[in-house]
Structure 1
Amino acid sequence: MKKVKVLFLTVVFLLTMALPAMAQSNSPVYKGSFQNVSFYGSEGTVDTSVDLSTNYEGKNSYILYYHTYNYETDEYYYGSAVVPASKAVFDINKGTAKVNQTVEVYKVDFTCDEEGDCTGDKTPAGTKSINLTWAFNPKSYSTSKYTERNVQIGLDEYIKLSKGTFKDYNNVSVSGTIDGKGTDSFEYSGGHVSSSSSMTIIK
């Protein structure tokens, strides 16, 4: 439940970050959609997660994220790749999503000062091959909504109104491999699928 809540907040954050770009449009009204699928698995002291989300900065594409964290050794690995829509499948009507992509991975070492401000140094750590398929029930989902009014997004730019609807789909299963490791070989694993639609008026 905690991970699902984090994913929901991530979607809200990405929508918010996209608003300044929306304001660049000649039209004061922006209508958009967001799609997200994720997989998370645990084995021993290592947590692995993969996330595929709509790319707001590039048309007709997604961003694929890869993370691993070892709680025992405090090692963190991160990677991302832009995936063209032609190479990623997200079909709500059929209840399926697919991605087959290689991601460049970096080991990230964090250094924090006395005030708690941290910076991360990245070291190349090879590539990971991700080949995953999500299956879900397109007719079974929970719905949540949000509304924002009069939010400043620029020096003289404000959101007059922003509203959206989120759908979190049920009965999600994930199959495939992450760097050759099958999703069914993790001690604990799960998947999440969500979509949203939004409408924003800029004044």
Structure 2
Amino acid sequence: MKKVKVLILTVVFLLTMALPAMAQSNSSIYKGSYQSASFYGSEGTVETYVDLSTNFEDKDSYLLTYQSYNYENDESYYGSAVVPAAKAVFDFNKGTAKVSQTVEVFKVDVTCDEEGNCTGDETPAGTKSINLTWAFNPKSYSTSKFTDKNVQIDYDVYLKLSKGTFKDYNNVSVSGTVDGKGTASFEYSGGNVSTGSSFSIIK
């Protein structure tokens, strides 16, 4: 059976990326929550990934990202959109997440020189309509924790301590369409829903 490559950004990575901006706001302590729902689908040589997750730059919105890659043609597409919190649904008591949004997409061409230095050029490639609903059992999940100490997160800025607890829900089903293609029509597909909270001290 073909293995589907899942392009999922980890929760720890996303939180770490958000911390430098928090440090610049003169805040040494950060408490926050994280919510994410993702979908991946594979059809032939094309893999598609969609992620709806907490927007750390604006607590009243979510960030919706779209990625696809064609292994045969070596073509990569990427797009993102900010979704107001009122237009995205995360109901962990009922086991539901939902989003309906259009994303502007760009074709990404990466070129590298002999020394391995790479640059990327983006070309507008239209829009993709995302209409997805995630369903899961709110009582069925696995829990994970992490702890980071003395990690450099920006120039002369260090993470003194960071702790987080996360829940990854089991048996997640995804329905709807990605660019007009139904989730059930992908050769291979799946989804993930997670939530969590973290506490960080920056020095």
Same fold, TM-score > 0.5, yes or no:
yes
Alignment of 1:78-97 (within 5 A): 78-97=78-97
Matched, 1:146 2:146: yes
Most deviating of 171-180 and 114-123: 114-123
Residue of structure 2 in register with 1:187 after alignment: 187
The amino acid across from 2:69 in the alignment is Y
Q: 1:167 Cα deviation (Å)?
A: 1.1
Matched, 1:67 2:67: yes
CA–CA separation in structure 1 for the residues paired with 2:50 and 2:157: 35
CA–CA separation in structure 1 for the residues paired with 2:152 and 2:107: 36
Most deviating of 147-156 and 183-192: 147-156
Matched position secondary structure for 1:171: coil
Q: 1:187 Cα deviation (Å)?
A: 0.7
Q: TM-score, normalised by structure 1?
A: 0.92
CA–CA separation in structure 1 for the residues paired with 2:71 and 2:156: 45
Residue 39 and residue 195 in structure 1: after superposition, are their counterparts in 2 closer, same or farther (change >3 A)?
A: same
Q: 1:183 Cα deviation (Å)?
A: 0.3
1:107-149 deviation digits (Å, cap 9, x = unpaired)? 1111111122221111111111100000111111111111112
Matched position secondary structure for 1:122: strand
Matched, 1:38 2:51: no
Alignment of 1:118-197 (within 5 A): 118-197=118-197
Q: 1:58 Cα deviation (Å)?
A: 1.4
The amino acid across from 2:160 in the alignment is K
Matched, 1:109 2:109: yes
Residue of structure 2 in register with 1:56 after alignment: 56
Q: Which runs of 4+ in 1 moved over 6 A?
A: none
1:144-168 deviation digits (Å, cap 9, x = unpaired)? 1111122334555433321001211
RMSD value, Cα: 1.9
Q: TM-score, normalised by structure 2?
A: 0.92
Q: Which runs of 5+ in 2 are unaligned?
A: none
Q: 1:53 Cα deviation (Å)?
A: 1.0
Q: Which runs of 5+ in 1 are unaligned?
A: none
Matched position secondary structure for 1:59: coil
Residue of structure 1 in register with 2:17 after alignment: 17
State whether residues 96 and 133 of structure 2, in contact with CA within 8 Å, keep that contact through their aligned partners in structure 1: yes
CA–CA separation in structure 2 for the residues paired with 1:180 and 1:156: 47
CA–CA separation in structure 2 for the residues paired with 1:2 and 1:71: 12
Matched position secondary structure for 1:100: strand
Q: 1:25 Cα deviation (Å)?
A: 4.6
CA–CA separation in structure 2 for the residues paired with 1:35 and 1:16: 15
Query: Matched residue pairs, number?
Result: 201
Percent identity for Structure 1 against Structure 2: 80
Q: 1:81 Cα deviation (Å)?
A: 0.5
